[in-house]
Amino acid sequence: MMERAEPRALLPSPSQTVGPFFDFCLTPDAKHGTLFPGSPSRVRIAIRVTDGAAQAVTDAVVEIWHACDVPGGDSAFGRLGTGEDGTCEFDTVRPCDPPAGSAAHINICLFARGLLRHLFTRLYFPDDPRIAEDRMLARVPHDRRATLLAQPDPTSAARWVFEIRLQGPEETVFFDV
pLDDT tens digits along 96-143: 878 888 999 999 999 988 888 899 999 999 999 999 999 999 999 999
Q: For the chain, state the CA radius of gyration.
A: 19
Burial of 96 (0-12, 13-18, 19+ CB in 10 A): middle
Q: Left if phi > 0, otherwise alpha if psi is -120 to 50, otherwise beta: which for 130?
A: alpha
Q: Where are the domains of the chain?
A: 23-165
Does the global pTM surpass 0.85?
Answer: no
Q: Write down the architecture of domain 23-165 according to CATH.
A: Sandwich (2.60)
Q: How far apart are CA 150 and CA 106, in angstroms?
A: 10
Strands 87-93 and 32-34: parallel
